[in-house]
Structure 1
Amino acid sequence: MASGSLFLSAFDFGSPQDWQAKSRPLRKAVVLGKLVSIFLFSGRWILAWFLLLVCLAIQFGGVYGFRIETDISKAVFDSIQYKDFPGFVRYALEFLLVGSLAYSLSYLGVYVQNVFEMLWRNTVTVALTGNWLSGKRFYFIERSELVENVDQRLAEDVRNVVNGVFGIFTGCLRVTFTIILYTSLLITKSTPVTYHVFGHDITTRADLLLGAYLSSIIGTGIIFRIGRKLIRLNMRQQHYEADLRFSLVSIRRHAEQVALMVMERVEHLRIASAFSALVNNYFVQQRMGLIISFASQIISHVQRLLPLALAVPRYMSGRMTYGDIIQTQSVFVTLSSSLTWFMQMYPMYAETSASFDRLFVLVDAIQTPEKAEISLLRDSQDDIVARDLVLRVPEQAEPVLEVQEWTVRAGEKWVITGPSGSGKSTLLRAMAGLCSEGEGQLSLPRERRIMFLPQRPYLPHGTLLDLMLPDQPHSPENRVLCATLLRRFLLPGLVDQLDVGGDWSQRLSPGEQQRFALARAFVSSPDVLVLDEATSGLDQETAAAIYRILLDHPALTLISVVHARDLMMLHSKRLHIAGGVGRVMDNQEPPSGALLSLHRTS
């Protein structure tokens, strides 16, 4: 959790209450500012600013290089008009040299920009993931269903936002520089020309400049008018893509259950329905994109023909050379393209805006305050103490469980019993900090290592050694320890597979996974072990053997949730839950009328 706290400081927005007091537009502006500043002012700020300045220098250098290229292009065509062959050769070589340099700078700029974006994305992803994992926020977000498809937001949306924001930022600077540079050049090309309009002579030199600006403004207005729906369509498309991917991953993760329950047809219909929604939105999105592309092409053709129409009268009157016409058209098109940059970048803007909205929802959910009415303390004592504890869940108005006084002293072996659904697992979640709604106080020993083992262990991809030593070196001593623990917890067949990788959650049976989780827990020598039906996948004889292994550690504090009577009797103390109330009882005999069910959920 130390690393999570480190990353949390990078995305620190103040207290959750102060955050929620801000308006939504202000919160979005703050999040955008954090996304930008987290890399530029991080521990790698020197590299970040160096890459940024290099990228901008290349962008500006490339624009100025193309500006010089237009002058050389004019000279090339003028030499053709005046049949100046030596001049043509000279200017053609200059054109080739300057053009090659300008295009080389453009490609180098793309490379530097990609490097900058990847480093920025890495910084944001690591920091935001740490923020999401800190304080068990990921668990509360999933439990309360505040955000869907968090994986897509942390992977694809971060990438889209980083690439889009940097592309829009550098594009704005490049376009501004281009507009200033090419506007001044077009002004110099706008020699006076007289037009005969309805019997009047109108002399002007601003027609070229006005033509470029007006055509661009009108074109941009048309595209924005047509494409306003594109942002919503893009956001909806991302949502449908994520739903489809989630459905496919769910089938892969639960392949055995789907096969045993013969649910293939149901899953196929569910996937077909998800894909149908995706396809319908996709076609609407593509039709809108087609309309925008068609309008953009019409506007682009007009902007290529317009400078010729305005320059020809000057050429006919001898105020322009052939090279001037070619240069004027190139400058006009470049300036118009820069002025219509927002029109051209509208799809990227739409995608970036949609991705940022999705990312903001995640950040906002991370900052949403969790009701913390239970006082969970880590003090210096060795005991676990619950006082006047009342546990609630959001779905129910009445309390799930009340425990007036419960003390677990070091080395004691406790079993928690009660009917399924009585609140046993809820009590363990409260001890783990995963259930904070209610009243009362829970005190846990600060200096003692507490480990919680759920009914279904978490086994990510990796080798068995990686799973057993997630934060410890793979030293020879640790390998021997892992092998010893595997044998102790009745998994001798895994000793020779310590270096074998893969998805062990699919390779091992539920019982093997539970024994492996116990072996893994003892790598770190826990002082307190809390088991929530952590042997439910074992037969009664094997489960009893596992518990005898645990009881061989007299200093180990053990708290178990079990249903089998034989396993209950192995513990020295009992907390029995009935009617929403937990009471300490003698563990020699089961409570009167208690149902000792073998049902495995609580």
Structure 2
Amino acid sequence: MSQPSHRFDARVWGQFITIAQPYFFPRDRRGSSGIFILLLFLVIALMFGCLFALTAAVTFGLNALAPELMGQIAGGLMDLIRSLWSDPFSRSLILATVIVPLGVFVLLRRDLLPRWQAWTLLGLLLMLSLSVSGLNVIISFVGRFFQTALAEKNADTYWRFLGVYAGVFVVGTPIVVIYRYVREYLGLCWRDWLTRHFLDRYFQNRSYYAIENASDIDNPDQRITEDIRSFTQTSLQFLLIILSDIIDLVAFSGILWSISQTLTLTLIGYAVVGTVVTILIGQRLIRLNFNQLRREADFRYGLVHVRDNAESIAFYRGEAQESLQVRQRFIEVLRNFNLLIGWQRNLDFFTTAYNYFVIIVPAAVVAPRYFAGEIDFGAISQASFAFSQVLGSLSIIVNQFANLSGFIAGIERLAEFNDALVTPVSLGESQIELVEQPRFALEKVTIATPNLARQLVQDVTFALDSGESVVIMGPSGVGKSSMLRAIAGLWQSGSGRIIRPPISDVLFLPQRPYMVLGTLRTQLLYPGGDRDTSDDGLLYALAQVNLEHLPDRVGGFDVELAWDDVLSLGEQQRLAIARLLLNKRPYAILDEATSALDLDNEQRVYAHIQRIAHNYISVGHRESLIQYHTYILELKSNQAWEFRPAH
């Protein structure tokens, strides 16, 4: 698995594309990343062409209704639109921004139609973003006109353009509000898709188990929840920031150049120096943000661990030690955050001073020209506005570095997780062969730990015919539970051949049964029981394990409770047997599954298992278990073993 670089480089861009692209365009074709980036540029071009056509239609439509007023307000805009449309090259270019993207989308319709919602929302969002940028340009000109009229004490022109200024805000308010809503809604849809995408792969082929036991991926829960949420929202924010900055750079550079070429050149040099210094100062913020995400997740997991094991901690009176470990995790959070805010302070010293000069520089450069009578009064405010817009566009890294460093850290965490889901965790070169047949058998099976550090059992061989069963016994640590993991396919390190029924036909009953989140009905039917089972059927299964009064005690079958706390371990074990009866699995594997039951209940449980199961395998220490099995597999120290009849 690749290690994070904690740097702002091309590798991070590749990780971003890998995660972001599948929602918009499939990655199962050659050159898909290049096609995705091309499509992104084409949809921007298409929205620009559509916006130009809409602007032209609105402008000339209003001109037909009020030619005198529009001549005063937007005469320059109408002249620009006419000149662009009358020029053959400009007209061809504008038409190409619409025709070429539509043609490409038609060619790729097979890949794009399943993702029509994503592209529609993205196109609408980009259209609104372009509209907001256009409004900013209009505001700069209208503001210049009415401020000049104010300086010249031209009341009629002042009030006319002040009204237009207010009208722009009336039109712009719904555009800005809808723009923000569409951005949030697209982020929501993207998060929904990406979360399901990661969850599907997380549960596929038991990747969650492999990651938990043989991977250095910490806190996958936080990566699926917080990191994906942050990734989708921040990706759209940066996309729109970059798009807006490009538009502002093009639009306002022209305005600024027309007012003062000296100011324009000064700005470019100022932005370049600021960007270089910011990267040098803030580079370490990426690593600190990466570590902060991990420390916060570790601290939260420590608190969840206490909550999940509250009863055990209370019995052990382990409050002092648990408090110490939680506090230690919190100290790590604070220590890293202290470093983070320290480096953020260092960066703020520069960026704050950098942004203050936005006010001083344009005023100092443009004011002499106003005093000399070369420009009007409104040009000063327009130059300041244009200067701040262009500087903001050129200073995206300076202004956004703190957010960008956190974003990069999130990308690297998701990329690590994505790599772990794509690349199966290595279980060693030697692997046990698994064969599905309607029986249990082991042929010279040797089992080692997943990291191959220790060999547990060697050359174990046995076979069960229909109706037969085996209990695996032996001292602690010889590999009894490990053998069950190998039979279930969770551990594959070793050699030999395991024959077993399809895993969907086998129900595993551990010593502490898994209590799912949900109702009592959900508990009984987990994982694959008939969801249409009647309450009478559920009551019958509970009666077979002496739990017939449980629904009355807890308030019915459809009440959600914390079942680990409500039920004793013995009740949980009996509930698991009722689950076996309702799931009607023909095979069962029991790992100390009756250890908390008295002998009478144990006998009753095994009577039910013998009645419904073709084969079953048990692990246990109790001598009383022997009478319920056909064979004994005794595992001894030093990898020795013995398979013999139980009677």
TM-score with structure 2 setting the length: 0.81
1:32 counterpart (3, 16, 23): 16
Describe the superposition over 1:518-564 as per-residue Cα deviations: whole angstroms up to 9, x where unpaired.
211222200101101111121223222211222233x5312111211
Which residue of 2 is the match for residue 492 of structure 1? 548
Describe the superposition over 1:228-273 as per-residue Cα deviations: whole angstroms up to 9, x where unpaired.
2211111121122112111111111111111111111111222222
C-alpha distance 398-286 of structure 1, shift in aligned 2 (>3 A): closer
Question: 2:285 matched to 1:285?
Answer: no
Which residue of 1 is the match for residue 635 of structure 2? 577
Which residue of 2 is the match for residue 599 of structure 1? none
Q: Where in structure 2 are the equivalents of 1:66-105 lying within 5 Å? A: 66-105=136-175
User: How many residues align structurally?
Assistant: 552
C-alpha distance 447-152 of structure 1, shift in aligned 2 (>3 A): closer
Amino acid at match of 2:265: L
C-alpha distance 395-48 of structure 1, shift in aligned 2 (>3 A): closer
Aligned mates of 2:621, 2:528 — CA distance in 1: 35
Q: Where in structure 2 are the equivalents of 1:96-175 lying within 5 Å? A: 96-175=166-245
Question: Could you tell me whether the CA contact under 8 Å between 2:632 and 2:643 is conserved in 1?
Answer: yes
Aligned mates of 2:316, 2:529 — CA distance in 1: 42
Question: 2:527 matched to 1:543?
Answer: no
2:255 counterpart (159, 173, 185): 185
Which residue of 2 is the match for residue 53 of structure 1? 123
Which residue of 2 is the match for residue 9 of structure 1? none
Aligned mates of 1:268, 1:369 — CA distance in 2: 34
Question: 2:444 matched to 1:374?
Answer: no
Aligned mates of 1:118, 1:563 — CA distance in 2: 52
Compute the displacement of 1:166 (Å): 2.4
Question: Could you tell me whether the CA contact under 8 Å between 1:576 and 1:583 is conserved in 2?
Answer: yes
Which residue of 1 is the match for residue 83 of structure 2? none
Aligned mates of 1:20, 1:295 — CA distance in 2: 34
Question: Could you tell me whether the CA contact under 8 Å between 2:253 and 2:390 is conserved in 1?
Answer: yes
Question: 2:514 matched to 1:458?
Answer: yes
C-alpha distance 269-477 of structure 1, shift in aligned 2 (>3 A): closer
Question: Could you tell me whether the CA contact under 8 Å between 1:376 and 1:433 is conserved in 2?
Answer: no
Aligned mates of 2:146, 2:208 — CA distance in 1: 64
Structure 2 SS opposite 1:434: coil
Aligned mates of 2:127, 2:504 — CA distance in 1: 57
Describe the superposition over 1:544-588 as per-residue Cα deviations: whole angstroms up to 9, x where unpaired.
2211222233x5312111211112122122222223234320212
Give ranges in structure 1 of 5+ residues lacking alignment.
1-18, 191-205, 589-602
Which residue of 2 is the match for residue 196 of structure 1? none
Aligned mates of 1:237, 1:567 — CA distance in 2: 51
Describe the superposition over 1:121-145 as per-residue Cα deviations: whole angstroms up to 9, x where unpaired.
1111111122122111211221124
Which residue of 2 is the match for residue 552 of structure 1? 611
Structure 1 SS opposite 2:549: helix
1:233 counterpart (269, 274, 288): 288
Structure 1 SS opposite 2:231: helix
Compare the two structures and name the one with the higher helix fraction. 2
Compute the displacement of 1:27 (Å): 8.1
Aligned mates of 1:517, 1:556 — CA distance in 2: 18
C-alpha distance 185-120 of structure 1, shift in aligned 2 (>3 A): same
Compute the displacement of 1:512 (Å): 0.8
Structure 1 SS opposite 2:455: coil
Question: Could you tell me whether the CA contact under 8 Å between 1:377 and 1:442 is conserved in 2?
Answer: yes
Q: Where in structure 2 are the equivalents of 1:72-471 lying within 5 Å? A: 72-190=142-260, 206-366=261-421, 367-371=423-427, 373-379=430-436, 381-394=437-450, 397-446=453-502, 449-470=505-526
Structure 1 SS opposite 2:434: strand
Aligned mates of 1:475, 1:560 — CA distance in 2: 28
Aligned mates of 1:270, 1:63 — CA distance in 2: 52
Question: Could you tell me whether the CA contact under 8 Å between 2:12 and 2:408 is conserved in 1?
Answer: no
Compute the displacement of 1:48 (Å): 0.1
Identity of aligned residues (%): 26
Describe the superposition over 1:369-427 as per-residue Cα deviations: whole angstroms up to 9, x where unpaired.
43263344344x42222112110014664521124421122221221122222211111
Aligned mates of 2:273, 2:390 — CA distance in 1: 14
Aligned mates of 1:323, 1:484 — CA distance in 2: 87
Aligned mates of 1:116, 1:473 — CA distance in 2: 37
Aligned mates of 2:495, 2:10 — CA distance in 1: 34
Structure 2 SS opposite 1:400: strand
Question: Could you tell me whether the CA contact under 8 Å between 1:179 and 1:339 is conserved in 2?
Answer: yes
Farther-moved stretch of structure 1 (452-461 vs 252-261): 452-461
Amino acid at match of 1:415: V
C-alpha distance 30-442 of structure 1, shift in aligned 2 (>3 A): farther
Structure 1 SS opposite 2:574: helix
Which residue of 2 is the match for residue 566 of structure 1? 624
Farther-moved stretch of structure 1 (445-454 vs 357-366): 445-454
Structure 2 SS opposite 1:416: strand
- For the aligned residues, what is the CA RMSD? 2.4
Compute the displacement of 1:474 (Å): 7.9
1:501 counterpart (542, 555, 560): 560
C-alpha distance 477-128 of structure 1, shift in aligned 2 (>3 A): closer
Give ranges in structure 2 of 5+ residues lacking alignment.
27-112
TM-score with structure 1 setting the length: 0.87
Aligned mates of 1:347, 1:426 — CA distance in 2: 48
Aligned mates of 2:327, 2:173 — CA distance in 1: 47
Compute the displacement of 1:298 (Å): 1.4
Structure 2 SS opposite 1:455: coil
Question: Could you tell me whether the CA contact under 8 Å between 1:374 and 1:441 is conserved in 2?
Answer: no
Structure 1 SS opposite 2:472: strand
Question: Could you tell me whether the CA contact under 8 Å between 2:450 and 2:491 is conserved in 1?
Answer: no
Which residue of 1 is the match for residue 71 of structure 2? none
Question: Could you tell me whether the CA contact under 8 Å between 1:486 and 1:492 is conserved in 2?
Answer: yes
Question: Could you tell me whether the CA contact under 8 Å between 2:15 and 2:411 is conserved in 1?
Answer: no
Compute the displacement of 1:20 (Å): 7.9
Structure 1 SS opposite 2:635: strand
Aligned mates of 1:272, 1:477 — CA distance in 2: 48
Question: Could you tell me whether the CA contact under 8 Å between 1:400 and 1:422 is conserved in 2?
Answer: yes
Structure 1 SS opposite 2:317: coil
Farther-moved stretch of structure 1 (526-535 vs 495-504): 495-504
Amino acid at match of 2:300: R
C-alpha distance 105-469 of structure 1, shift in aligned 2 (>3 A): same
C-alpha distance 46-467 of structure 1, shift in aligned 2 (>3 A): same
Question: 2:574 matched to 1:515?
Answer: yes
